[in-house]
Amino acid sequence: MKVDKTLVASVALHVLVIGWGLVSFSSKAFESIPEETLPVDIISSDQLAKVTAGMKTGKKDNPKPLVEKVAEPKPADDAVGKISEKPPVVTDTSPPPVPKVEDKPVEKKPDPPKPVAEAKPKEEPKPIEKKPDPPKVDPIAEAIKKDEKKPLPKPQAQAAAPQPPKPKTERAFDQTKIAALLDKRDPTRQAVTGAELNSNAALGLAHGKAADNSATWGSMFKEQVERCWKKPYGGIESQNPEVAFEIKLKRDGTLEGSPVPEGTPGTPYLRVYQESALRAIIECQPYNLPAAFFDEWKYFAPVFTERKT
Amino acid sequence: MTDKDGEDRLRQMLLRPSRRQIISGMAALGVLSGAGVRHALAQGGPKRIVVPEGEFTPLPIAIPNFVPGTPADNDVAVGVTQVITNNLKRSGLFAPIDQAAYIEHITNIDTAPQFANWKTINAQALVTGRMTRQGDGRLKAEFRLWDVATGQQLTGQQYFTSPEYWRRIAHIISDQIYERLTGEKGYFDSRVVFVDESGSAQRRIKRLALMDQDGANVRYLTKGADLVLTPRFSPSTQEITYMEFGQGDPRVYLLNIETGQREIVGNFPGMSFSPRFSPDGQRIIMSLQQGGNSNLFVMDLRSKSTTRLTDTPAIDTSPSYSPDGARLCFESDRGGKPQIYVMPAGGGAAQRISFGDGTYSTPVWSPRGDYIAFTKQGGGQFSIGIIKPDGSGERILTSGFHNEGPTFAPNGRVLMFFRDPGGNDGASLFTVDISGRNELKVPTPGFASDPAWSPLLS
C-alpha cells in the first residue's frame, strides 16, 4: 500500500498546529474578583444641609470668642447687624461727612407719614389730605400726628373731602423722592473687640450631624442581615408589615444582648414577620462593619419593612 | 419698568420654583424615601436602619425522623416524618433540609436539642416528635417546633388516635407547623374529591374518587357505569353533591361518602346541573334547564322547597356562595358572552364583575372571601385566574391549552384545577398558589379532572 506523503505531512502538520493551539490557547477561566461594593446613598441638598448643619447643643469645639477687631477686649451684647463704626473713607473729593448727620433727621422726619398716608387708605380722599399738608409744614404738628393713632387722620380726611382739587393730586409720586422712602438708619452696634481676630462664633461647629455615616455602615448591615432573612410569605394582599428592633453590638460585631423588639405584634402574620426578622439578626452575627464608625453602630435600630415609603 | 417691578419679578423667581426645580425636588424626595436612611425618624432614639422588603425565601426547616416510642413504632414514626416533610415542601413556603446533612441525631424529644448543631446546617426551625403505641392500642403522637435562632419552643402538641389514622395526625401536625410559622391557617388536613378517568380517549370511564389533598388514600365512590361531573363537598365533609348522566336527563345527586347512600336532589323536569352547597350545608344551589335557557334555583335540603333566584332568557350557571352566605357569584351570558356576575344570595340585581377579553366561567368564591377564581377562555387559551368580588385586581395564574375548574384550598391560599395537555393524554390535577407561584402536579392513579377541595376535616 502506498501512502501519500503529502497526506501524511498534512495530517502531521494539522495535528501539530491544533495541538499547539490546544496547549497554548487553553488557559484558566478569567477569575473575576468580586469587587467590594461601595454603598452610596444619594441625598438631596436639603438632606445635605441637615447633615452638615451645626447644632446649638453641639460640643463647643471653638472656645475662643468672636473677635472682629483687634482692640481692648470689650464684651458685645449681641453680635448681630452691621458694625456702625466704619472708618470714613477719606479721599480728596469726598465731601466732609458732617452734613450727613444734619440732613438725615430733616429728610427722614417729614417722610414717614407719607407712606402711611399713601399705602393705607387707598380711597381718594387721602391724597387730598396730603396736598393741604405741605404748606402747613409744621414739624411739631407732624411729630404729634405720628404719635397719634391711625384712626385719627380719617375724620380730618372727611372734613377735607369736599375740596375740589382731587384729581390733580392723585398719585403724586415723585420719583426723585424714592430714596426718601427708605429707612436709612443702620442697625448699629460696636465691633466685638479682642486680642486676636476670630471670625467664627463659638456656637458649636458644624459637627452636629456631620458624622452620619449610616449610609455606609447601614447598607453594609442591610446587605449582611438580608442574607439570613427568610421573609415569611405574606401572600398577595399587602399587609405592609413593619417591625423594628433596638440592638447593641460589640466591637467584634456580635450582639451584646438579645435584640429588643419595639412593640408587640397585633396579628399572627406580624408576629411571624417579627420572629423572622429576629431570627435573621441573631443568625447573621457577627456583623462586619467598619470599625471607624463603631460609635455609630454600637447601638441602632434596624427596621424591617414592606412599606414602600 | 420700575424698580418695584424688578423686585416683584425677583421675588416670584424665588418663590415659584420652575418646573425643573419641582421635578428635581420630587426626585430628591423619592430618593430620600428610598434611601433607607430616615432622618425624620432619627429624632431621639437610636439610628434607624431600614431593611426594605426583600424577596420571599422558603424557610429552611429541619425535620429529623420522629423518635419511635418502642422499636415497633419505627415505621409509623418515619412515615409521619415523611408526610410532614412532603406537605411543607409542597406548600412552597418551606425548604426542608436533607436529613443526610443533620449533625445531631434526636433520640429524646423531652430535652432541648443542641441548637448550635442545627444552626450549622442553616436550619431556622426544627421539628422533633415521637410516636408511641399505647397499651390500649391507640397511637400517641407528640411534636415540638423549635426556633433555632432563639432556642425557644414555638409550639408543641400531643394527640391520640387509632393507628390507621397516622396520616391524618401527620397532616394535623403539618397544619400546626404551617400556621405557627406563616401566621396563616393550614390546609393539609383536607381531602379532594375528583373525577378519576381511565380507559382510552374514545371510551373513558369516569368515576368519582376521593383522596387526601396530597394524593394519598384514593377511594372510588362510583363504579363508572355513568358519566359523573362537577362533584362538590358539603361543609360537613360527609356529603358530596354532583351531576350524573343517568338513563335520562343529567341530574344532581347527593352522596353520603361514609354510608354510600345516594339520592336525586329534587324532582325537576329537564336537566339540573352545576350544584353547590351553601356555606351552612343546609341548601344546594344549582341550575335548572328551561328550554334553551337555564336559571338558578336553590333547594332547602330539609324542607325540599325550591326557590327561583334568576329569571332571564339567558344561561345562568355555576353559582357559588360567598363564605358568609350573603352573596352569590355565577356565570351568565345575559350580556352576550359568558361573564361573571355577583348578586345577593336571595336573588335581585346582578352586577357584572368581569370585563376582560374572552369569556369567563366556573367562578368559585374563596373561603377567605377575598377572591373569586375563574376559568377564562380567550386567544386560544384556557387560563385560571382570580378577581376580587368588586371586579378589581384580576390576575391570571396560569394559561395553556386547557386549564379549567379551579377550587380553593380551605385557607384560600392555594388553588387546585385540572389541565388537559391535548392529544390522547387525559387531564391531570395541579395546584398553584394564588400569587401564581409554585405550580405543582398532584399525584393521582390515572387521569383526573373536576377537583373539589373539602373544608378542613378538623
Q: Is B349 left (phi over 0), alpha (psi -120 to 50) or beta?
A: beta
Size of interface A-B (CB pairs under 8 A): 139
Q: Which fold has domain A214-305?
A: 3.30.1150
**Residue A24: partners with Cβ closer than 8 Å, 6 or more residues away:** none
Spell out the domains of chain B, with CATH numbers in brackets: 59-182 (3.40.50.10070), 193-453 (2.120.10.30)
Task: Name, of A42-56, A198-212, A272-286, the range with top average pLDDT.
Answer: A272-286
Distance between A252 CA and the closest CA of chain B, angstroms: 19
Q: pLDDT: is A242 or B83 the higher one?
A: B83
**Selected residues 60-99 of chain A with any CB under 8 Å from a CB in chain B:** none
Confidence of residue A59 (pLDDT cuts 50, 70, 90): low
The answer on pLDDT for A309 being more than 80 is: no
Give the pLDDT of residue B291: 82
Q: pLDDT: is A97 or B155 the higher one?
A: B155
A283/B149 touch (CB, cutoff 8 Å), yes or no: yes
Q: What percent of chain A has pLDDT over 70?
A: 44
State how far the Cα of B35 lies from the Cα of B441, in Å rounded to an integer. 42
**Selected residues 13-52 of chain A with any CB under 8 Å from a CB in chain B:** 41-47, 50
Of A218, A232, A278, the CB nearest to B49: A218
Distance between A120 CA and the closest CA of chain B, angstroms: 18
Confidence of residue A103 (pLDDT cuts 50, 70, 90): very low
Least trusted range by pLDDT, from A60-69, A106-115, A175-184: A106-115
**Residue A174: partners with Cβ closer than 8 Å, 6 or more residues away:** none
How confident is the prediction along chain B (458 residues), in pLDDT tens digits per residue? 444 454 454 444 444 444 444 444 444 433 333 333 333 344 457 788 888 766 778 899 999 999 998 888 899 999 999 999 999 999 988 999 999 999 988 888 888 899 999 999 989 999 999 999 988 989 999 999 999 988 999 999 999 999 999 999 999 999 999 999 988 889 999 999 999 998 877 788 889 999 999 999 999 988 887 888 889 998 877 889 998 887 777 888 889 988 888 888 877 777 888 899 999 989 999 998 888 889 999 999 888 888 999 988 999 999 999 999 999 999 999 988 999 999 999 888 999 999 988 999 999 999 988 899 999 998 889 999 999 999 988 999 999 999 999 999 999 989 999 999 877 788 999 999 888 888 999 999 989 999 999 999 88
The answer on pLDDT for A53 being more than 50 is: yes
Confidence of residue A116 (pLDDT cuts 50, 70, 90): very low
Q: pLDDT: is A270 or B452 the higher one?
A: B452
Q: Does A283 touch chain B (CB under 8 A)?
A: yes
Confidence of residue A118 (pLDDT cuts 50, 70, 90): very low
The answer on pLDDT for A7 being more than 90 is: yes
Least trusted range by pLDDT, from A70-74, A206-210, A226-230, B147-151: A206-210
Confidence of residue A120 (pLDDT cuts 50, 70, 90): very low
The answer on pLDDT for A102 being more than 70 is: no
Confidence of residue A170 (pLDDT cuts 50, 70, 90): low
Closest chain B residue to A236 measured between Cα atoms?
B435
How many residues belong to chain A? 309
Q: pLDDT: is A117 or A191 the higher one?
A: A191
Best A173, A174, A233 residue to mutate vs chain B (most B CBs within 10 Å): A233
The whole-chain average pLDDT of chain A stands at 68
Distance between B266 CA and the closest CA of chain A, angstroms: 41
Give the pLDDT of residue B330: 94
Confidence of residue A238 (pLDDT cuts 50, 70, 90): low
Give the pLDDT of residue B13: 42
Q: What is the average per-residue pLDDT within A133-161?
A: 52
Give the pLDDT of residue B26: 41
Residues of B in contact with A297 (CB under 8 A): 47
Q: Does A278 touch chain B (CB under 8 A)?
A: yes
Of A44, A268, A278, the CB nearest to B150: A278
Q: pTM (2 decimals)?
A: 0.66
Distance between B433 CA and the closest CA of chain A, angstroms: 9
Going from N- to C-terminal start, the domains of chain A cover 98-181, 214-305
State how far the Cα of B419 lies from the Cα of B384, in Å rounded to an integer. 10
Q: Does A261 touch chain B (CB under 8 A)?
A: no
Q: What is the average per-residue pLDDT within A282-309?
A: 84
Give the pLDDT of residue B434: 87
A230/B183 touch (CB, cutoff 8 Å), yes or no: no
Confidence of residue A51 (pLDDT cuts 50, 70, 90): low
Distance between B111 CA and the closest CA of chain A, angstroms: 22
